[in-house]
Chains A and B, each alone.
Chain A
Amino acid sequence: MSTPHSDQPAHVKHYFVSSEQQFDAAKMGMWLFLVTEILLFSGMFVAYTIYRSWHPETWAALSTALDWKLGGLNTIVLLGSSFTVALGIHHIQKGNKKGLIINLILTFLFAGVFLVVKYFEYSAKIEHGLLPGAAFDPHGISYGFDYATYNVPYGPQFFSIYFVMTGIHGFHVLVGMGLFAWITRKAIRGDFSAEYYTPVENCGLYWHLVDIIWIFLFPLLYLI
């Protein structure tokens, strides 16, 4: 039996040789996980591309049904949350635990704002029957606009893709909030330091990816 690495910091697991090896392994694992996320979303982007190329007139007509102001607001909110995550990591790398905690809480709040905005968007769609597939039934008049004009062929496909894409993305935001609640608790408990902040780094990577997916979803769905 080899002697345990008593000279190692407490956070290093026994099967790793060094803190550096553990950090690199965790980070590489996270990047691999992010790639699986990209491929998961790619299926939706493929469906989007195919149906858009088959029915461009539907896309032209229905992208106006999505409110670019709310979508744009959410884009800025998510970019802000990415920024605060990056700031948090910057602070903990310099040993500033308070700076980390503040930025983690800010990130959590930004994510919450994103979901609240999303909630208002969804409820407006549901109210007027802008729903996926068989449930598609645009109706009602709002601000003098008759929603029935959105009743175009292949409209159900557009809203299926819209809801599935933003729904899966929204689910990831929700998971992200859970992750940030967890690491904020750890940060307040004092688990992290300039030497050990792997969970923060990895949650940050995850969160940036959620941001990147939205960076693509916003123009594809709301603008063009």
Chain B
Amino acid sequence: MSHSANGMVNYLNHDKGIKSWLFTLDHKRIGIMYLVAVSLAFLAGGILALLVRIELLAPGETIMSADAYNQSFTLHAVLMIFAFIIPAIPAVMGNFALPIQLGAKDVAFPRLNLASFYIYLIGAAIAMSALIVGRIDGGWTFYTPYSTSIGDGILFVTAGVFVMGFSSILTGLNFIVTVHKMRAPGLTWNRLPLFIWSIYATSIVQVLATPVIGITVLLLFLEKAFQIGIFDPALGGDPVLFQHFFWFYSHPAVYIMILPAFGVVSDLMGTFSRHQVSGYKFVALSSVAIAFLGFLVWGHHMFVSGQSAVSSVVFSLITYLIGIPTGVKVINWVQTMYKGSVQFKSPMLYAIMFLFTFSIGGFTGIMLGVLAIDIHLHDTYFVVAHFHYVMMGGNVIAALGGLHYWWPKMTGKLYNETQAKIAAFLVFFGFNLTFFPQFIMGAQGMPRRYYDYLPQYEGYHQLSTYGSWVLGVGLFLIAYYLLVSVFKGKKAGLNPWGALTLEWTHTTTPPDHHNFLETPVVTRGAYDFHLARHLFEHGGEVTELEGMGDGASTLPETPATEDATV
């Protein structure tokens, strides 16, 4: 086995060739493959978003026809939601970090893990093929009867969503079993990193909710193919029933998107504040509470659909309850910083950014949950701004934080911190410039999904489009310096952030093929910095592995032949 730049055998170089990647059962490599795939989906969806924003720069036709516009925003949504946000944090960072944080050699079902990656790719390919087959417009919600009256492309999109759903279920199932059965000795539930807790809660939602979108799109598929008349009012069906089915999955899916972000932010808050995350148990259990409450509120998407008033009232009330566990988290994160010694490294900048953007997204969500206000704001840009503050300001910002946090561990290289800080600023500024004006014009009555608009909204639309350019520049800068770091970056140390979770304290950088050189024994919680003072005797960066004795930072090369025997 040849020596890597680090002079160590690790999961990246223990085996070479494209086959060793495509058929790998190693959760870390699968995580990296997911990273590549979801980044491409994000790129495609992002370019579509920029095109949509350019079209809206001025009233009337700017760069594309109304038809092309409708297809662009629909495809933007389908790609971003099903192919990017849902797998982003769980499948990329969950796959990479979760087994290591648990002290396990792999997930419980590695084969299933690889299968779910390919199922995801197949599903994404089927959904994309709709582009060629026929036009898909009308948004990502596929409301009947419109969705069954447009071209056959809808068959492909629904089939694609169905298949990607399987991938999501298998990943969730795998993680739940892994968390239950594969924890290292001493790693009790109370010592789990909060990232694990939130991925665990996410997985529960994935397993319970995703099958329902399966049956929903299957019925939609049959409705289109055989006119079975379950959802189509012309055949005696009920279109509102479709909305119930759709949102029974798609509202909990919002928590599939945001819960992992909570986990990443909790880990970042603890690590960069050098302090136990305050209210650990509350933060952990609030994830589970949100997962369960998230199933009881889907009707708040349907206040103007014609559902009964009594169910609207019930759904509205339960929606307010979600604010409680979410508030518990936000307050505890702030308190963690208040008591800690905060280091403003780039991952932490994203975590702090998240507090602002997510809180705005969360509060406007409560506003929209109020029945009377929703009647006014329904289907306006206010809703668009709200969910972008949650999805992008929540999930994507946290995903960027997580990516910057685990990047040195994944690749063994450090990125340029100055460029990272500039990019973080551009993303924050660009994001708010894009979406804040949308709150205002939405409240003034600008409807969502419209191709054209009255001149009075032009100023807000221009601000929003300029903001999207700043945001785009920030994101491309991130892609640039991360790619550069792979080839030219400085070698990363074992634990550059001084974190206390197992992937930093007990593995080499990048980790060994089997994660650990010896099975770790956990003796403290994930953020018990007061029990780990010995690690910080030499300053901020920790340069030795725990439990390995002296000289662990210069471990001898592991003979590669051993891999085959295990």
Contact = CB atoms under 8 A, between A and B. Distances in A.
Q: Do A and B come from one complex?
A: yes
A37 interface: yes
Given A24-B181, A29-B108, A29-B109, A1 B229 contact: no
B110 A15 contact: yes
B230 A36 contact: no
Contacts of B565: 4
B550 interface: no
B482 to A, nearest CB: 30
Contact of B169 (A14, A36, A164): A36
B210 A36 contact: yes
Contacts of B236: 153-154, 156-157
Interface string B229-244: 1100001111001001
A142 interface: no
B216 interface: yes
- A interface, by DSSP: helix, strand, loop or mixed? helix
Contact of A132 (B180, B218, B229, B519): B229
B235 A25 contact: no
A164 B221 CA distance: 12
A134 B218 CA distance: 17
B336 interface: no
Contacts of A44: 215
A159 B299 CA distance: 28
Contact of A39 (B108, B208, B228, B558): B208
A148 interface: no
A47 interface: yes
B173 A32 contact: yes
A146 to B, nearest CB: 23
Contacts of B296: none
A188 interface: no
A160 interface: yes
A50 interface: yes
Contact of B238 (A1, A50, A132, A134): A50
Contact of A32 (B176, B216, B237, B244): B176
Contacts of A64: none
A2 interface: yes
Interface stretch (B135-143, B339-347, B471-479, B510-518): B510-518
Interface in B201-248: 207-212, 214-216, 218-219, 222-223, 226-230, 235-238, 241, 244-245
A40 B228 CA distance: 18
Nearest to B227: A134
A45 B481 CA distance: 52
A133 B228 contact: yes
Nearest to A156: B229
B408 to A, nearest CB: 23
Contact of A28 (B105, B180, B211): B180
B310 interface: no
B422 interface: no
A43 interface: yes
Contact of A43 (B109, B219, B227): B219
11 contacts: A24-B181, A25-B109, A25-B177, A32-B176, A36-B207, A36-B208, A39-B209, A133-B226, A134-B227, A154-B236, A168-B218
Interface of A: 1-2, 4, 14-15, 21, 24-26, 28-29, 32-33, 35-37, 39-44, 46-47, 50, 132-135, 153-154, 156-157, 160-161, 164, 168
